[in-house]
Amino acid sequence: MPLEDIKNSRGVTETRFTFPVPVTGTEAARDDPTPPESILPGVCWRGHTSLLSGAPKAGKSTLIRDWIRRIGKAHFNENFHSHFVLPDRLVKAARILYFSEENPFAWNAFFSELQDDEVCRATFNSEREPQSDFDWFHLYDRRHTGIAPVRPDDRKYWVDSVIEIVKAQMIDMVVIDPITRFLALASENDNMEVLGAMMEMERIATEGNCGLLMLHHTGKAGGQARGASAFLQNVDVILTLRKARDGEEIADAANPETVRVLEGTGRFDEIVSRMGLWYEDAQYHGTDHVGAVRPMNPQGDDADAILQWIKLKTPIPTTLEADQFTGFEKSDIMEGVDMKGSRFQRAMRTLVSKNAVRRDGNTRNTRYFLV
């Protein structure tokens, strides 16, 4: 919001917020906005934020490294094509800034493997310094630079510094793995605290004009991002990586233990909605054909879907919308998750019994709230 110096009735100059003049519908109709650039198709867009959640050891970091490996191959060979994320969209070269909590030696192994890849080796020659071949990737980790949680008082200055690096190095995508490691939250269940932190993180994408991909853990029950709903409400793309459930299978996967399911939602039509992954020959393979023949616990899966929808739609506390919020009607939730009848009732009873959702009112006027 713009600021303006205004003299009050006593002649004292005060700095106040001023509202800009709104555009008319006619002006808005003339706009032909350019779609944001896709940095990682189906996952991350320039100027926007993405959150990838999954249980510990579900393979989030491994998946990200696989994506970065494909980006690296595109740097080495402009004729390299990878359709891994979406069948009709190519992974292209991009400059990466990565904040990593992983074992530092994992990155040494990663780049050694990338350097030995046949696509990359074909581009090496005696005139290129080996280390210059990876200058598109910038890393903060425990071994080389040291990393520490960012205290709330320092968060703005930390974000400002990241934005400076992004601009100086012409970074296309920033990865923070995991986001809670760097936020130093007193409580990741506190909506207001998480909201303030996520709004600061958003500046990396908007002011740095890059994509921001944050990694996070799911809760004990799985299915949705752990902690406050503000984690989900303040990002543009929400992705969840999970292990395959009983009955979900991929025919091409040699080892069923490596099968994962990536699901997403958000502001863009091209977001990965649901795809199956499996790990083989030191890389992930993807398909949108995931069999779900006989899920063992459908009401548990349905409860996860309902809870995630409620967390997404619940207003942030202390906002005007929250003050006016009177809960969700059953019909709204059923329409939002595309679920009806006894199936919905069983899943909702599960949530209420676990104290994840509160039910108020009588039979004719029942309202549901996030606990």
Question: What secondary structure does DSSP assign to 166-213, as a single string?
Answer: HHHTT-SEEEEESHHHHH--S-TT-HHHHHHHHHHHHHHHHHHTSEEE
Query: Which CATH number fits the domain 38-239, given the four candidates 3.30.930.10, 2.60.40.10, 3.40.120.10, 3.40.50.300?
Result: 3.40.50.300
Q: Which residues of the chain have pLDDT under 50?
A: 125-128, 130-131, 292-300
Phi, psi of 21 (to 5 degrees): -70, 130
Do 238 and 51 meet the contact criterion of CB atoms below 8 Å apart? Answer: yes
Q: Which residues pair with 52 in a beta bridge?
A: 215, 239
- CB of 61 within 8 A of CB of 84? no
pLDDT of res. 298? 40
What pLDDT does residue 171 have?
96
- Tokens of residue 341, six digits: 């009848």
Q: Which two tokens stand for residue 239?
A: 């992705």
**Predicted local distance difference test score (pLDDT) of residue 44:** 93
Q: How many CB atoms lie within 10 A of CB 176?
A: 23
pLDDT at 162: 93
Are 354 and 223 within 8 A, CB to CB? no
Domain with CATH 3.40.50.300 in the chain: 38-239
Q: Give which of 145, 154, 189, 174 is closest to 64, Cα–Cα.
A: 174
Cis peptide before 178 (omega within 30 of 0): yes
Give the Cα separation of 346 and 317 in Å (integer).
29
Strand partners, 215: 52
Note the CATH number of domain 300-370: 1.10.10.10
Which residues, in sequence order, are bridge partners of residue 217? 54
Q: Delimit the CATH 1.10.10.10 region(s) of the chain.
A: 300-370
Put simply, whether the predicted model's pTM sits higher than 0.75 gets the answer no
Backbone angles phi, psi at 311, to 5 degrees: -65, -40
